Amino acid sequence: MDLLKIIRDNYPRTRVIIITGFGTVNSAVESMKRGAADFIQKPFTPAEIRNVLNKYLPKKDTATSKTLQFNRDGQVATIIGVSPVMQDIYDLVLKVAPTDSTVLITGETGVGKELIARAIHFHSQRKEQAFLTVDCCSLVESLFESELFGHVKGSFTGAIATKHGSFELANGGTFFFDEIGNISLNIQAKILRAIQEREIKRVGDTATIKVDVRVIAATNRDLSQAVAEGGFREDLFYRLSVIPIHVPGLRQRREDIIPLAEHFLEKYNQKRKKSLSGFNRDVEQLFIEYYWPGNVRELENVVERAVVIEDKQTVTVPSLPSNIRNLKSKPMEKEDSVKSLEQLEREHILSTLEQTNWNRSKSARLLGIDRKTLYDKLKRYRIEK
């Protein structure tokens, strides 16, 4: 038990499996409570050992497919995600990257749409050329068109010189329209033309310019609904969504949370010259239970903040923002034996308390433990009347 505690405190990602000689539920419960991943009762068969180990060993043969890497301006960028849906996205990215197909990436803000757009570009033959992006929310319409397609000198007040638009500058490369759900019908028509005819017109010019640009677009809106409501051109919608990629919210792929958190921990350890070795168990549990409305971006910010303010060896609950820290932590519903034993104990204690009308001495006696142990358990399980 002492060794278990040392391992849990210093190497929180190390899984501990206890082999117990007295396979009573009590000692098993005790070791689980102290953070063991699992336990094996003596006597055991080799098959039992194998089963338990298989449950906790990283799957070596699939490890390489759990991330997608690309070279971005001389640095390696990594997309983290072990969930089946992310694995499918990697496959799709690698499949569509070498083609010139238009890709529409949908999903809530912060799920990684831009990162995926970059992955597509940096896996394509265009990777040596520009990847340019425009945030379609960021500019008023009149400026947007000239930003995108350029303008000729004197075409409007302030147009003191001829300007190349960013779409033209992306020639040979990839252009990423971020938040494309927010552009006016007028600009939509011009974008459609640029994609379809592969040519653009600068503002105030009559001549057309040929451009060879691969287009990727992203939106957090439901574009088909926008089409139905008349806010988005149907023809542009079909043009864009030749290859649709939907990225689910983080809460819909909770198995990605801890790998992402560890990735960011490493990143900010380096950036902030810290050496935190992991997250403690309560932190991991809160991370897994939290709703993550801001998705991966929010998780990244939470980890960065924790790295900055944490003064222990591992990230602990007090260095989380209050909205996560104060999550009412109910025992998780998981098939895991870890939780179900704890849950059983908690429920048993609760029902005993109810039976004795919350008489703690009597409950302790009925449960066969002393009062102090009962109080410890009430605290641990956050049982309050």
Ligand X SMILES: Nc1ncnc2c1ncn2[C@@H]1O[C@H](COP(=O)(O)OP(=O)(O)O)[C@@H](O)[C@H]1O
Name the residue among 157, 172, 237 with its Cα closest to residue 203.
157
Q: Which residue is nearest to ligand X (CB)?
A: 112
Of 51-59, 79-87, 124-132, 341-349, the segment contacting ligand X by CB under 6 A is: 79-87
CB of 86 vs ligand X, minimal distance in Å: 7
**Both tokens assigned to 47:** 């098959």
CB 118 within 8 A of CB 77: yes
Residue type present at position 308: V
Which does residue 79 touch among Mg ion, ligand X, none (CB within 5 to 8 A, set by kind)?
Answer: ligand X
Cα-Cα-Cα-Cα torsion 232, 236, 238, 243, nearest 10 degrees, comes to: -110
Beta carbon nearer to Mg ion, 70 or 381: 70
Helices (H), 25-171: 25-33, 46-56, 84-96, 113-122, 141-149, 166-169
CB of 115 vs ligand X, minimal distance in Å: 4
Among 110, 173, 181, 278, binds ligand X (CB under 6 A): 110
Beta carbon nearer to ligand X, 264 or 381: 264
Name the residue among 16, 238, 215 with its Cα closest to residue 124.
215
Per rule CB under 6 A, is residue 181 in the interface with ligand X? no
* Cis? peptide before 43, omega within 30° of 0: yes
CB of 373 vs ligand X, minimal distance in Å: 44
- The site for ligand X, by CB under 6 A, has a size of 16
Of 74-82, 107-115, 291-299, 344-352, the segment contacting Mg ion by CB under 5 A is: 107-115
CB of 154 vs ligand X, minimal distance in Å: 37
Among 18, 28, 40, 79, binds ligand X (CB under 6 A): 79
Q: How far apart are CA 10 and CA 177, in angstroms?
A: 45
Helices (H), 110-183: 113-122, 141-149, 166-169
Of 21-29, 39-47, 105-113, 160-168, the segment contacting ligand X by CB under 6 A is: 105-113
Among 12, 35, 112, 278, binds ligand X (CB under 6 A): 112
Of 2-10, 24-32, 113-121, 167-175, the segment contacting ligand X by CB under 6 A is: 113-121
Distances (CA, A) of 312 to 280, 307, 317: 10, 10, 11
Among 9, 114, 205, 282, binds Mg ion (CB under 5 A): 114
Q: With DSSP H G I counted as helix, E B as strand and the rest as coil, what are the percentages for the chain, rounded to 5?
A: 50, 15, 35
Of 102-110, 144-152, 305-313, 365-373, the segment contacting ligand X by CB under 6 A is: 102-110
**Both tokens assigned to 153:** 């000198």
Among 18, 32, 40, 115, binds ligand X (CB under 6 A): 115
Binding pattern for the stretch 247-266 against ligand X, x by CB under 6 A and - elsewhere: -------------x--x---
CB of 326 vs ligand X, minimal distance in Å: 24
Q: How far apart are CA 374 and CA 382, in angstroms?
A: 12
Q: How far apart are CA 23 and CA 34, in angstroms?
A: 16
Phi (first) and psi of residue 79, to 5 degrees: -95, 120
Binding pattern for the stretch 144-173 against ligand X, x by CB under 6 A and - elsewhere: ------------------------------
Of 112-120, 281-289, 346-354, 371-379, the segment contacting ligand X by CB under 6 A is: 112-120
Rounded to the nearest 5 degrees, what angle is found at the Cα of 96, between the Cα atoms of 93 and 100?
135
Binding-site ranges for Mg ion (CB under 5 A)? 114
- Residues interacting with ligand X, by CB under 6 A? 79-81, 107, 109-115, 260, 263, 296-297, 300
